[in-house]
Amino acid sequence: MEDIKNIFFDLDHTLWDFDKNSDLTFHKIIEKNNINIDISKFLDAYHPINRHYWNLYRIDKVTKPHLRFYRLSDTFEQLKFEVDDEMINKLAIDYIEHLSDFNHLIPNTILVLDYLHLKYNMHIITNGFKEVQRRKLEKSDLLKYFRTITISEDVGVKKPDEIIFKHALQKSDSLIENSIMIGDNYNADILGANNIGMKSIYFNFHKTQEEQKEDVVIIEDLKEILEIL
């Protein structure tokens, strides 16, 4: 891919280890609020519920406040653990406030970014909440690698909508033909980029079966990027 000049990265699950950092955040806020629940059982229930609401949020089927409240409410309900609405709202606020307190990265993130930023213009396109995404980048010391940061809430649409990709290209003064998207979400990152003609690399963090699809460049470890770019 000798023609590539601009690399657009997703953030969560691609560079920033969302699962580990999120779990540590829940340990902190559940203890802080004196909630006597088995944290392992809570997290086992929470993860699929959270993914479900994020999928709905991505296609505008639920609002941000709805997602933040009901991913917690549904988890406690499933576990038959009684928590009132006031506490759920407090946990939702505490979660966003403390999420960037933990900043574990996906293995080989720094190795890859140290190499790539000397050769390419690098950028972020993320669907996360604006009040926390930039803090994640700052506190994890990732911000220095990226020339532009595009957050869905600032644009008004989420990946895979072509508008956010075109916005990011315009913001970074990049061309589709010399740009590539790297992300862990096949629908949001890979199809979103491909739908406007942008090349992509699918980081198969979640070990899905997308390798069965044609014309998809797939990696299992970030350092594989160095063999491609």
The pLDDT tens digits of the residues spanning 143-192 come to 999 999 999 999 999 999 999 999 999 999 999 999 999 999 999 999 99
Amino acid 140: pLDDT:
97
Amino acid 212: pLDDT:
57
Map out the domains of the chain as residue ranges: 6-17+105-228, 18-101
Domain 6-17+105-228 has CATH 3.40.50.1000: yes
Amino acid 63: pLDDT:
95
Confidence check: pLDDT of 216 > 90: no
User: What is residue 144's three-state secondary structure?
Assistant: helix
Confidence band of 229 (pLDDT split at 50, 70, 90): very high
Fold for domain 18-101?
DNA polymerase; domain 1 (1.10.150)
Amino acid 2: pLDDT:
76
DSSP secondary structure of 53-97: HHHHHHTTSS-HHHHHHHHHHHHHHHTT----HHHHHHHHHHHHH
Cα gap 40→225, rounded to integer Å: 34
Same topology for domains 6-17+105-228 and 18-101, yes or no? no
pLDDT digits (tens, 9 = 90+) for 82-117: 999 999 999 999 999 999 999 999 999 999 999 999
